Amino acid sequence: MTEAAAAPSDRTRVRRIAKNASYDSATLHAIIDAAYLCHIAIQDEQGAHCLPTACWRKGEYLYIHGSNGSRLLKRLMDADSCVTITHLDGLVLARSAFNHSMNYRSAMIYGRFERVDDDGKIAAMEAFMESLVPGRQAEVRPGSDKEYAATTVLRIALTEAACKIRGGGPNDDEEDMDWPAWAGVLPLKQVHLQPLPHPASTAATPEYVSRWSAE
């Protein structure tokens, strides 16, 4: 069952094509869980920056990680930022050039990141590995104390967020309906390709690798 929609804040309220907006947790979780990357916009003394980074969700938080010396990570704890995720699902071709569109699922999250303490860092990083490839964490060499000590994990609460989703075909003007141009949707999707084993790998192929290209 979809959770009840939360009331949007002033900065998350979708004003353009508001009917495409969603503020419920289930929709937000699904968009985050389908993503490998997010983009984070920040402002500092050198201007505006929008940086891509790996992300994952655990409960009601979105997590990222990086080197202790990362300029981005330090800035994220000092000021609010905006996190965006977008999945492109199709090109929508209308009879008029100005009525073309795209089908998509997107999310915007506002707030300030906080550092995950040492007690929670290992669990958070293990959750990251499982979000990438379920089953992988149990097989790989665990991180060392030195590696964890050199890594910062941050999280941002999902309490101030908005999703916007567009689906369906073109919305042509009535006067364009007889124009002799093809109209419809060119669907797009992310595809898992055949795994490429490392030449020096001697380990048996695990199930999560075998099923990768079938998903």
The pLDDT tens digits of the residues spanning 46-80 come to: 888 899 999 999 999 999 999 998 877 888 999 99
pTM of the model: 0.91
Q: How many residues does the chain have?
A: 215
Q: How far is CA 144 from the centre of its chain?
A: 28
CA–CA dist 125, 149 (Å, integer): 12
CA neighbours closer than 13 Å in the CB half-sphere of residue 168: 6
Domain architecture of the chain: domains with CATH: 18-171+183-214 (2.30.110.10)
Give kind and range of the element (H or E) at residue 130.
Answer: helix 118-132
Helix, strand, or coil (residue 48): strand
Say if residues 189 and 87 touch (Cβ distance below 8 Å).
Answer: no
Amino acid at 199: P
Per-residue pLDDT of the chain (215 residues; tens, 9 = 90+): 345 456 788 888 898 888 888 899 999 999 999 999 999 998 888 888 899 999 999 999 999 999 998 877 888 999 999 999 999 999 999 999 999 999 999 999 999 999 999 989 999 999 999 999 999 999 999 999 999 999 999 999 999 999 999 999 999 999 999 999 999 999 999 999 999 999 999 999 999 999 998 87
CA–CA dist 158, 12 (Å, integer): 12
- pLDDT score at 46: 84
Q: How far is CA 111 from the centre of its chain?
A: 16
Residues in Cβ contact with 54 at an 8 Å cutoff, skipping those fewer than 6 apart? 36, 37, 64, 65, 128
